[in-house]
Amino acid sequence: MFAAIEKHQKAMRELQEALKMVQGTLGPDPKKEKKYGDLEWTARAELTSTAPTTLQGLLALFTYINGVTNGPLSPYGKRDNTFEEFESLTVVLANAEELLSEQIGRAA
């Protein structure tokens, strides 16, 4: 889980750089925008589909998603809609439910 979070953080930073306006143009380099956009999308898909195996991993995932969404962990330093896709959150919640069920089952 922690490696997947770090991979996504790196991909978001690289995408942020790729989205900067190229001097003398009206926008970013379209090839870099596509390349790093695709890398971020892949890292996000891997992150949201990775099932945490520990409660610490689950907490790290929720903390990261919340931090990016509300801004403190976003490379832009402000609110970010990266994780607001319904499908991504559904997978995260299903994985959380499975882990919590296992943990509670063991404790019961």
pLDDT by position in tens, the chain (length 108) = 999 999 999 999 999 999 999 999 999 999 999 999 999 999 999 999 999 999 999 999 999 999 999 999 998 889 999 998 888 889 999 999 999 999 988 765
Q: What single-letter amino acid sits at 65?
A: I
The pLDDT assigned to 28 comes to 96
Query: By the 8 A CB rule, do 96 and 90 touch?
Result: no
Q: What angle do CA 61, 64, 70 make, to 5 degrees?
A: 135
DSSP 3-state assignment of 72? Answer: coil
The pLDDT assigned to 90 comes to 92
pTM: 0.87
Distance CA(82)–CA(23), nearest Å, equals: 27
